[in-house]
Structures are given as structure tokens and as C-alpha cells.
Structure 1
Amino acid sequence: MSREHEWVDEEAGPVVRPYAVARGRTRPASAEVDLLATVVLTGMPAPAKAELSAQHRRLLNVVSGHNKPVAEVASDLGLPVGVVRVLLGDLLEHNLVTVRPPRDKAATPSESLLREVINGLRAL
């Protein structure tokens, strides 16, 4: 076997370390990329100066037509959340995505209401 294929798994494809995908960066350029924040495409074309990697393009394809939380985007891409946050920060700088903060806790149902629903479903 040649050394070229030493790090290739038939199912996984080439193995690339997360820090290489994020170009050595560990923090996103924007603090608004929260784990539960929702990612939405802006529909703007990529600027000529934008250096978008294959992972940036994959991320855009995953979000295309959907509003997804950052955690779900990371799961769909099979990348660590930290790497996805860095990639999203790049896309935010180029105005290719919008990140909406998570919903307010007051807008979410209370634990007691959720328990009542579960108990009601069990009673069926």
C-alpha cells in the first residue's frame, strides 16, 4: 500500500484533523455563534475575496433551505461543534449566513407542563 492511501478509510474518506479544517483557529470571529443559535442562509453570493474551503461549502449546503441549530449543523457535517462555530464565524464575516440567538427561556414550556404531557401520553 502506498503512503498516499495510508490515512484513508474506505467509509470515512480522507482523515483531516479538526484544527486543519479550522486553519488552526479555536474560536469563532463572532461571539453570537451559540450552540443553540439557529443558522440561516442570507442568499447573498460569496464575495470574490472570500476564501471558502470545501467545508465552508458543505456547511452552506447543509443549511440551504433549512433553519438549523449550530449543534445540528455540526452533527450533519460530522465535525466538532468548535470547528463548525469557527466556520460559521467566517461565513458571518462574508454575510453568507445569519445566526439567530436561541429562543428566550420564558418562551419555552415549563418542566411541569412537559411532565403533564408525558403523563397524558402514557395514559393513552
Structure 2
Amino acid sequence: MSGDGQGRSHWFDDEAGPVVRPYAMTRGRTTSAAQHRLDLIAVVVTEPGTGDPETDPTLSPEHVDIVGLCRDEPQSVAELAAELDLPIGVVRVLIGDLVHAELVHVSRPVPPAELPDESILRDVINGLRAL
């Protein structure tokens, strides 16, 4: 008991309601098969033709929320964690589940090393201006 005099356990917050530990949402898992691809700026996109995830009994409410958020527009892992108010590690595991279930896919932004050099872009701009 929390010692608040009312017999409430320390697992209850008057403002937030019952506290659910992050490991309960991930069933104790800390990684997923897709974990290596899920950095903060990886973008999560709902697969085309994805039905209603609410009818899938294997999905948690958090899984359903992720699919719903990504259905409207692609979201980064960091945006999803902020929107759902969940730790990044939990969101990564949940997204990994959704990738495995083929409900979402993850695309990565172009790495900086693969972006064109600034001098090449300046040459292109100068060439266009000369036209």
C-alpha cells in the first residue's frame, strides 16, 4: 500500500488512473525482429488495403492506435512515441509486431552520406539560372 491512508495501492494514480508498466504492453520483450531498422526518424506507413485492426484479437489497443495514426499520414517512430506518450523502446517493439503482421512497413529517410553534395546542387541551380 502507498500509505495514503485510503488503502490505495501504489499502482494507482488519482489523475492518470491505473499504471501499466511498459513491459506489460510488450509482454516482457525489449526487442523485435525489425528493431535494427527502427531509429527515431524511421517512418512508419500503414500497408495499403489494411483492414480494421480493431477486429484482430492479437493486437493490443496500442497496436491499433499506431495503425490508426499512420493511416492518416506516415509518422516517425519519435512522433508515434510522443503522440502515444509511450517510451521509445515500447513503441519500437509494438511497431516490430505490426511489421511482422504486415500491417505497416518502415521506410528510412535517405542517409546523409547518400545525399548529393552541396556543390553539385549549386552547380545545378547555376545551370538552371543560365537557361
Shorter-chain TM-score bucket reads 0.7 to 0.9
Q: Aligned-pair distance for 1:53?
A: 0.8
Q: Distance in 1 between matches of 2:59 and 2:90?
A: 14
Query: Secondary structure at 1:64's aligned position in 2?
Result: helix
Tell me which residue corresponds to 2:101: 94
Q: Distance in 1 between matches of 2:27 and 2:107?
A: 25
Q: Which stretches in structure 2 are left out of the alignment for 5+ residues?
A: 1-5, 119-131
How well do the aligned residues superpose, as a CA RMSD in angstroms?
2.5
| TM-score scaled by length of structure 1 | 0.73
Identity of aligned residues (%): 44
Q: Distance in 1 between matches of 2:72 and 2:85?
A: 19
Tell me which residue corresponds to 1:32: 37
Runs of 4+ in 1 over 4 A off after TM superposition: none
| TM-score scaled by length of structure 2 | 0.69
Q: Which aligned pairs between 1:43-58 and structure 2 lie closer than 5 A?
A: 43-45=49-51, 46=53, 51-58=58-65
Q: Distance in 1 between matches of 2:110 and 2:31?
A: 23
Tell me which residue corresponds to 1:8: 12
Q: Which amino acid aligns with 1:88?
A: I
Structure number, greater radius of gyration: 2
**8 Å contact kept, 1:62–1:77:** no
- Number of residue-to-residue matches in the alignment: 108
Q: Which stretches in structure 1 are left out of the alignment for 5+ residues?
A: 111-124
